[in-house]
Amino acid sequence: MHIDVVFDLCCPWCRVGQLRLQEALARRPGINAVVRWRTFVLNPDMPSVGLPFHDYLAWRFNGRRRAERTLGAAADAARAYGEHFRYDRIERMPSTIKAHRLVRLLARDPERQERLVDRLFRAMFVEGRDIGDARVLADIADATGILAAERTAAFLAGEKAERAVVLADHARSTRLGIMGLPTFVFGGRYSIAGAQEPEVLERLIDLASRIETAAEPAMSMTGPPPWITDGQG
């Protein structure tokens, strides 16, 4: 079964969604699931160097207090998995274009792609690193054994082409009507938005599993993925 997750790496609820999906799948060891990460860019006009984190949040959420409530709720949810978000360490809200491009590079290797997404989330929300910086991305990829730093740096050097490819993927997601993050699509048929509890995700996994071969999918997410036709972009 394919499970598509539409996400952005600067979204704390997307990290919570990943942790909850991992728990749901661990409860279903008999399900052969392949998780595929799909691009959505919350801030397509973000400068490549990002913006001051807390100033951006105050603007985005129409005030610091509302931003603190929203981010605090995500941090509480992540803490249940032993992960402690450290927003105080984040200096800049990054552009996630480069990071998405790197994730997309591994589209044909779901296991390594999952590891990279996991590491990028932790780099931002736990370590407070700037995942919009190509040097940081190269270091992360190299340290986790996913890609050599030199290859990562060379790949990310094509700024103009890189941005166009990622934004095209983002446009495909919006054309499918996806607006809320994260959005999960199970077996190309059943979708649900939000960082749902593992029990909710389990029910959709079970449902999609039962009818996986019974009919054509309602959304064009099986066969060649609509977002990605070549992992190299």
Torsion of CA 205, 28, 106, 222, to 10 degrees: -30
What is the structure's pLDDT at 160?
A: 62
Q: Give the CATH number for residue 177.
A: 3.40.30.10
> Which tens digits make up the pLDDT trace of 92-104?
999 999 999 999 9
Burial 6-15 (b: 16+ CB within 10 A, else e): bbbbbbbbbb
Looking at the domain assignment, is residue 59 inside a domain? yes
Low-confidence ranges of the chain (pLDDT < 70): 159-161, 213-233
Looking at the domain assignment, is residue 28 inside a domain? yes
Angle at 85 between CA 98 and CA 171, to 5 degrees: 35
Domain that holds residue 61: 2-210
Looking at the domain assignment, is residue 44 inside a domain? yes
Q: Where are the alpha helices (DSSP H) in 96-148?
A: 97-105, 110-125, 134-143
Looking at the domain assignment, is residue 39 inside a domain? yes
What is the structure's pLDDT at 38?
A: 94
Query: Helix, strand or coil for residue 193?
Result: strand
Looking at the domain assignment, is residue 216 inside a domain? no
Looking at the domain assignment, is residue 221 inside a domain? no
What is the structure's pLDDT at 100?
A: 96
Compute the distance between CA of residue 205 and CA of residue 75 in angstroms, rounded to an integer: 26
Q: How many domains does the chain have?
A: 1
* Placement of tokens 């190269």 in the chain: 138
What is the structure's pLDDT at 133?
A: 96
Strand order, beta sheet including 34-39: 34-39, 2-7, 183-186, 190-193
